[in-house]
Chains A and B, each alone.
Chain A
Amino acid sequence: MRLTLRETLLAFRRAPLLSALSVMTIAFSLFSLGLFVLVAVNIRDALQQVEERVEIRAYIADGTPVEALAAALGDIGAFPEVARAEGISQEGALERARAELGEFRDVFDAAFLPASIEVRLKPGFRDPETVSAVAARIRTYPFVDDVRFGEEWVRKLYNIRNLATAAGIILGVAFAAVAIIIIGATIRMAVLARGREISIMRLVGATDGFIRRPFLLEGLAKGVLGGILALALTYFAHSLISRTLVATRFFDERIILAGVAFGALIGLLGSAVSVGRHLRRV
């Protein structure tokens, strides 16, 4: 292990420019991937916020007994798809309308607005089919006059979300593939630059494992360094965007860890593949 560490440090020290170049290449490849993920995460957040506004509103017939309404609220609240069901009285509806409409507050009076049940769905149940199904079930209560959920709007939102997800996956895979290819090529260059050294090692009786170890450690170190650098660049870009264009959210710890781990993994795998291919030829 001591020897592996020494050989790895030696590799960095002997070719500082090439090492720095590969770390930079890894960093910028991961940086472009990071920027994309940053955008994707923020779009997802925005869509989620909009999605949370998906609601079903059931209007209640005048004169419905309070007990019947309370029982229905309990029932609906227990539906597996439902996050929250809330009863809104005529007065409550008026108050809310006044608060929301500001200067038009005087055009309403209490009799004009019916009481209602407001239902919000759990995440994952906000697609048009589920929303329709839940709405239909609520409609079966005899005292429910009408059920509305903005069907058209839910459908459009759902389409946008699917599109964003598909685009995210395709672009994400493409960005990751480009990063892997560039990083792989960079590491391959570093291995090729030391082809002579590898053949000499073989000649004096070094085993494949012995030859491979410092290269793997080097690849891992470059991957981690590149990952950290990419993270710093992405953070810089994020704060720049947040200050000048639009407030964005940065990655949570999970994504940060995943990013650095991804860099480490590509570094390690890239080295393993390059050295392996090289060893088979000498």
Chain B
Amino acid sequence: MIRFMHVSKEYARGGLALDDVSFHIAKGEFAFLTGPSGAGKSTILKLVYMEEFPTEGDVRVAGVHAATIRRAEIAQLRRKLGVVFQDFRLLEERTAAQNIAFALEVTDAPRATIATKVSRLLTQVGLSSKANALPRELSGGEQQRVAIARALVNDPFVLIADEPTGNLDDRATRGVFQLLRDINAAGTAVLMATHNLELVRRSDYRVIEINRGQLVYDSAEAAADAAVDRSTPA
């Protein structure tokens, strides 16, 4: 569903951000992307939602190749995936409900559908009482919930989260993380970049670790290797 094949990314200014990275994320999977700041986590996410393109290798997302995608198709792709950020990126002048509705309006969805869907999503993220609040009237955790609801509005196959708890206190972090788990349990894949190791340790989801642009650890591969080791007599 998301496949990186020997992907390298070099920025014109800033040098090599990714160096020969390969991995595959299956449908419905939950994977952490960890590593120190500047390791290349955000670059990987940008390559997934095609804000950036690989210098070498290929990225395939939902059957679309980064090498051949046209600009007009990028908009279509983004409707099939949801993205949330550390800084929420909500439209400041619009209410929570309007922010969520906006992502549907750009797809020319009918008005009746929008209203129903927005109210269902607000309930799902636990904010039905804050529908008409502006982002600045909401706490960080609440703003991130609105951002998550917006990301889910087009029923994406994957939710991409770039340090979604980076700006949140412990309580809000736990709440947002639980929401992501629920979303994953309902069938949506989640790819979450974080350097909150506490969060990573407490769950048994797949972990992909990046350091200086290279993939240094992938728990899925480690498990596969261990299985091979066990089945091979010494």
| Chain B positions near chain A (C-beta within 8 angstroms) | 49, 71-72, 75-79, 83, 89-91, 93, 102-103, 105-107, 150, 154
Complex CA distance for A196 and B89, rounded to whole angstroms: 8
Q: Which one of B76, B93, B150 lies within 8 Å of A204 (CB-CB)?
A: B150
Is B91 within 8 A of A206, CB to CB? no
Q: How far is the CB of A3 from chain B (nearest CB, A)?
A: 6
Interface contact A201-B106, CB-CB below 8 Å: yes
In contact, A204 and B102 (Cβ under 8 angstroms): yes
Within the complex, what minimum Cβ distance (angstroms) separates A215 from chain B? 15
Task: Tell me, yes or no, whether A205 is within 8 Å of chain B by CB.
Answer: yes
- Indicate if the CB atoms of B106 and A203 lie closer than 8 Å: no
Query: Which residues in A have some Cβ–Cβ distance to B below 8 Å?
Result: 3, 10, 14, 196-197, 199-208, 210
Contact of B103 among A197, A199, A204 (CB under 8 A): A204
Q: A205 to B107, alpha carbons, bound, how many Å?
A: 8
A130–B162 CA distance with the chains assembled, in angstroms: 80
Known: A3-B105, A14-B93, A197-B91. A203 touches B78 (CB 8 A): yes
Q: Chain A residues near B102 (CB, 8 Å)?
A: 201, 204
How many angstroms between the C-alpha atoms of A200 and B91 in the bound complex? 8
Contact of B106 among A196, A197, A199, A206 (CB under 8 A): A206
Verify B89–A205 contact, CB threshold 8 A: no
With A3-B105, A197-B91 as known contacts, state yes or no: A205 contacts B79, CB within 8 Å: yes
**Nearest Cβ on chain B to A14's Cβ, whole angstroms:** 5
B77 proximity list for chain A (CB < 8 A): 205
| Interface residue from B71, B72, B89 paired with A203 (Cβ < 8 Å) | B89
CB neighbours (8 Å) of A208 from chain B are 71-72, 75
Q: List 16 A-B contacts (CB under 8 A).
A: A3-B105, A14-B93, A196-B89, A200-B91, A202-B78, A204-B78, A204-B79, A204-B102, A204-B150, A205-B76, A205-B77, A205-B103, A205-B106, A205-B154, A207-B72, A207-B106
